[in-house]
Structure 1
Amino acid sequence: MALGLVNALEWAHQWWGPLSWLVLLVFLSGTVIELYDRRLARYVLVGGWGVLALFWVSAIYQFVFDQKSITEGIAVVLAIPLSLYVGYLLASGRDRLIVVSRAVAVGWLIYLPFSTLPFLRNPLIAIVTDQTATVLSLIGADFEVIAGNNFPADLGPAEPVEPYQKTFFFHVPDVRAISYTIMMACTGIGSMAIFGGLIAAVRAPLARKLKALAVAVGIIWVLNIARNVFIAYSFGYQRLQIFPEFVMSVFGIDSRLEVSYIVADRILAQFLSVFALVGITYVVIKILPEVLTIVDEALYVLTRNEYDLQDALDVEARADGGSERRDETV
């Protein structure tokens, strides 16, 4: 039965690409329609949340069985019922969730082109690779940067598959050469898209929105480079060989050399990323309190309790042209 479920999820994964574009199309359509007909937009966006739930179903195989990510695996499984529940609440008349839908539309619009279009994706990966290499050089790491894709592997140089360098090739005494490739997930564009969506979705003065976006993107960029350096160094030099047999068993890997990568990335870096996102959200709220509208709605979806975090966080919507009343941000 378990094998049948895995096979079904692998089959569903083939629809990842088409569903991702369909999510963008439906949410953007609903966002545009809202400008003219909120009632019709609500129904379109309800459909969008249904499509999003299907997208998360298609993503389970990648995050759980392919990437073996605990954090992302749990998140994608929970996202399925949550997406359906948001659609139900929106269909039931909770129109304040429209602003959350706008955030999804903008975030998807930022992320999807970078993740699928080579002329956007490749330069971004190349820049992140160069900056990660610079920091690794400053801390004395011995490596070379090569073309190809060996993510992660204890292999020799890969055959170049793309016309730019993105793989770190470490030469460690008494250990076979280890390579670590900078992938799209290593660029931080996913987190940037989340905050881009949150900031764009609320109604507030453009100057404060641009300031909040610049601060969020700047923090994410610096933390992401630090994350890449930590993972590359820990994996390349095998610094985190912690309970190797246990890690190999839990994550279903065959090579002891990958244990440091799993501990550095799939456990430490990903869990710390959750706390980093919470901290960045707080910084953004201090600049753009209107974002609390979305946070309040997210908490309502999770708990079915109404929240007003403005008093709790000692912030309030500014009177410089931004919204002072909660319903005006919708």
Structure 2
Amino acid sequence: MLIILWISISLMLLSAILSGKNRYKRVIGAGGWTVFSIHWLQQPFHYIAIDDYVNVALTIAMSIFCLLIARTMYLQYTNRYTPMEGEIDITYMATNAIAIGSVFYFPFAEISALKEWLIGMVTNNIMWTLNMLGFSAYRAGNMITYNGHTVEIILGCTAIESIALFMGLIASVNAPMKKLLSAFMVSVPVIYILNILRDVFVVVAYGEMWFGPNSFEIAHHMIAKAGSGVALFVIAYMVMRILPEILELIDGLWNMTTEQINKLRKKV
């Protein structure tokens, strides 16, 4: 249910904006992560229906991960878990990253007017690029046709998920504005431009039938996805070179997760 998602985001946002001295900051954040885990726990039913068992496992794992963070924040609230001296505040950074990233993603995913605006803007940019490169394509709404083959531009073609992820991570770091701006410039605009080129490649490859009858599947599901993965890896590396705190966050979340799992196993 959508209401569950918005409740979790609202709680995490409230936790993020409260002063660090506010004793209720942690318990509110814990509540947000708990509700967020319920959101993820609803997703496996959809993936079971379409026999996508990889995503079934991933969404269940994400739900468990959210509960572990919620447990850690509650222990922090009750003064039973204190970060080591000099260690970054993992749960605070993670809550900020999810809250900020969600603000950038879910309005576009759940509000029809914003979704249509974003898809329309990306479709315009794809058409402009195709024309600049000399490919005579035409559009009808969010459908682009080239050489008699039509590609539909949907939300997944906008890269909003990756953009929101990097926006959340960058904004969660306490660093000088110059470094934050540098991290932003090597990630968000680059992701958007590369995504337009990716979409153009899929449209042209499908229209020209570069890879035979399965040109769309090969271009979109294999080549474009592999290219996107490599690009995101390089971009993430560049961002972490500028903001090493993000690497500390990832490492800290891993250590926190394994520590909490080991403690729970000992109690069983």
TM bucket normalised to smaller? 0.7 to 0.9
Amino acid paired to 1:295 = I
Partner residue, 2:144: 168
SS in 2 for 1:46: helix
Partner residue, 2:109: 115
Tell me if 1:90 matches 2:85: no
Partner residue, 1:205: 176
Tell me if 1:289 matches 2:244: yes
Tell me if 1:59 matches 2:14: no
Q: Which runs of 5+ in 1 are unaligned?
A: 1-14, 148-165, 173-177, 242-256, 306-330
Matched-pair contact (CA < 8 Å) for 2:31–2:70: yes
Partner residue, 1:280: 235
More helix by share: 2
Partner residue, 2:7: 22
Amino acid paired to 2:155 = M
Write the distance in 1 (CA, Å) between the matches of 2:250 and 2:235. 13
Map 1:230-269; keep pairs closer than 5 Å: 230-240=201-211, 259-269=214-224
Residue 100 of structure 1: how far off its partner (Å): 0.8
Matched-pair contact (CA < 8 Å) for 2:90–2:253: no
Aligned Cα RMSD in Å?
Answer: 3.0
Partner residue, 2:265: none
SS in 2 for 1:269: helix
Matched-pair contact (CA < 8 Å) for 1:111–1:190: yes
2:64 to 81, 104, 116: 81
Tell me if 1:31 matches 2:2: no
Residue 200 of structure 1: how far off its partner (Å): 0.9
CA distances 1:214-255 after superposition (whole Å, capped 9, x unpaired) = 2211210122112212222333444445xxxxxxxxxxxxxx
Amino acid paired to 1:123 = W
TM-score, scaled to structure 1: 0.65
SS in 2 for 1:35: coil
1:228 to 183, 193, 199: 199
Q: Which runs of 5+ in 2 are unaligned?
A: 76-80, 84-88, 261-268
Residue 119 of structure 1: how far off its partner (Å): 4.5
Number of residues paired by the alignment?
A: 249
Write the distance in 2 (CA, Å) between the matches of 1:289 and 1:199. 11
Matched-pair contact (CA < 8 Å) for 2:138–2:144: yes
Matched-pair contact (CA < 8 Å) for 1:198–1:294: no
Residue 213 of structure 1: how far off its partner (Å): 1.2
Matched-pair contact (CA < 8 Å) for 1:70–1:266: no
SS in 1 for 2:187: helix
Write the distance in 1 (CA, Å) between the matches of 2:25 and 2:98. 14
Partner residue, 1:300: 255
Partner residue, 2:266: none
Write the distance in 1 (CA, Å) between the matches of 2:217 and 2:19. 44
1:105 to 63, 87, 99: 99
Partner residue, 1:8: none
SS in 2 for 1:169: strand
Write the distance in 1 (CA, Å) between the matches of 2:184 and 2:117. 21
Amino acid paired to 1:85 = L
CA 1:134–1:18 in 2, change beyond 3 Å: closer, same or farther?
A: same
Amino acid paired to 1:135 = T
1:41 to 11, 25, 38: 25
Identity of aligned residues (%): 27
Amino acid paired to 2:159 = G
SS in 1 for 2:121: helix
Partner residue, 1:50: 34
CA distances 1:143-170 after superposition (whole Å, capped 9, x unpaired) = 32112xxxxxxxxxxxxxxxxxx21123
